[in-house]
Structure 1
């Protein structure tokens, strides 16, 4: 394990303990916080474990133990030499981490691409799941409602600033712009305080692998949607009313296919769970209880 902290008297006691677990051919970096029934958080595209909104983590960790990790090749986690990253493979990694940490069952929460991974986790490793939470999900294949070309071009624009990139996750209005600024401010403050891990470089190759997994391969995967009907645990499906990346209708499509599902919407965009973190966390608590 390693300890990540900033030096100096102000942050001398603020440390995040990052540990590692061997899962197959990769070593996954993770940390935990909180107490209670476990929830494993599965991150989105090119997102490290240091990019979760600290306000959301504060709320969720009041009642649950959070397991927060880097997907293979991201942040501090290692990658395999094979250029075959898939959503199902990353779901197997997450399940392997649960087993490596000695848990018999956990709740799972996936956001964005992480919600695609979580769907495969629910399908492939249902024996490890208490309940599932899918945030800004997408069913894949011909069943999904894709983002517009304009939005896709903006997401892939290398010339956008960090602020402009983050703003795409929130409603495209003044309130959304302010919410994006507030989210970045919380993230930067938490990193300075050492309460969440620092970010690490993400290789261009890893981003290309993940991008292929979440687009080319996912866009051709009709089986995921079909298999959702076989999920036998309760699942909370949540979307943002103003999501321009994964249209809100996608959440309804998925919820209609899962036998034991709750469907709920929040004011916000793709990152509604950051913008509406208190309301979302209250809903999660009610669902898990």
Structure 2
């Protein structure tokens, strides 16, 4: 399998893991922000974007191994790992499997699975039509996103519209198959009992109003990683776009020796 990847920016080396269904193209804004202070290696994970779909099923271990082989390919012995949502799950799997390759770890709006709590079961909603799926998930992405709140908050309304529009983007059967395979792998994610293997400095970031990966899930991760800190931001599952302090904190954590 050939992974489609890009490297850009300058500074400390960062390997970035995308969220569920996300591609390099769809995450361009986040990646651009990270490149302001780091050299970012990002890729379309197996089954997504220009990497394409191979026969499944997929496992979280395979997603982590893909990235280890990518680091070998570009000649990075170690780096800082940043993972968001599903990408945070892969980042955890990578970190417990290859702790010697992780200089620092940043986990955003994610979960460890098992006894540490799982994220919202997105795989259960794949059978819904786009409108029904949006209606169900938008109030979970940010628990404040009620009709009254969206009527009063233009930025929140814009985010909700983006989420709804995303559900209605036409997709080929091949794209849908890749997304379903990813969600099935996500369904079985469980690193709760192995997080103690991670010894590098770790920043765990949660959105106060996140119903996909609640604060309790992120707290459970921080409780299990010895050298970690949990920070909570003013937003939901998309707090990285809602609270300017989030990207600023990632930048300081990546660049400064003592965050």
- Shorter-chain TM-score bucket reads 0.7 to 0.9
Indicate which of 30, 44, 48 corresponds to 2:19: 44
Q: Scaled by the length of structure 2, what TM-score is found?
A: 0.82
Alignment deviations for residues 229-282 of structure 1 (CA, whole Å, 9 cap, x no partner): 111111110010000111111000000100110110101111111222x31121
Indicate which of 248, 257, 265 corresponds to 2:224: 257
Measured in 2, the distance between the counterparts of 1:39 and 1:238 equals: 17
Q: Scaled by the length of structure 1, what TM-score is found?
A: 0.74
Measured in 1, the distance between the counterparts of 2:176 and 2:123 equals: 18
Q: Which residue of 2 aligns with 1:237?
A: 204
Q: Which residue of 2 aligns with 1:157?
A: 128
Shift of 1:152: 7.9
- Relative distance call for 1:74 and 1:58 in structure 2 (3 A) is closer
Measured in 2, the distance between the counterparts of 1:155 and 1:248 equals: 25
- Relative distance call for 1:258 and 1:204 in structure 2 (3 A) is same
Shift of 1:44: 1.4
* Unpaired stretches in structure 1, ≥5 consecutive residues: 1-25, 189-198
Kept after mapping to 1: 8 A contact 2:109/2:213 = yes
Shift of 1:167: 6.9
Give the helix-richer structure, 1 or 2: 2
Shift of 1:286: 2.1
SS at 1:242 equivalent: coil
1:281 aligns with 2:247: yes
Q: Which residue of 2 aligns with 1:75?
A: 49
Q: Which residue of 2 aligns with 1:6?
A: none
SS at 2:75 equivalent: coil
Alignment deviations for residues 40-69 of structure 1 (CA, whole Å, 9 cap, x no partner): 111111111112161x33432111011121
Indicate which of 181, 197, 220 corresponds to 2:158: 181
Measured in 1, the distance between the counterparts of 2:154 and 2:109 equals: 19
Measured in 2, the distance between the counterparts of 1:53 and 1:180 equals: 21
Kept after mapping to 2: 8 A contact 1:183/1:274 = no
Aligned pairs, number = 242
Kept after mapping to 1: 8 A contact 2:44/2:51 = yes
1:57 aligns with 2:23: no
Q: How is 1:1-289 mapped onto 2 (pairs within 5 angstroms)?
A: 26-52=1-27, 54=29, 56-81=30-55, 83-144=56-117, 147=120, 157-160=128-131, 168-170=140-142, 171-172=144-145, 173-174=149-150, 178-179=155-156, 181=158, 203-215=175-187, 217-218=188-189, 221=190, 224-276=191-243, 278-288=244-254, 289=256
RMSD: 2.8
SS at 1:265 equivalent: strand
Kept after mapping to 1: 8 A contact 2:96/2:194 = yes
Shift of 1:146: 5.1
Measured in 1, the distance between the counterparts of 2:231 and 2:35 equals: 21
* Unpaired stretches in structure 2, ≥5 consecutive residues: none
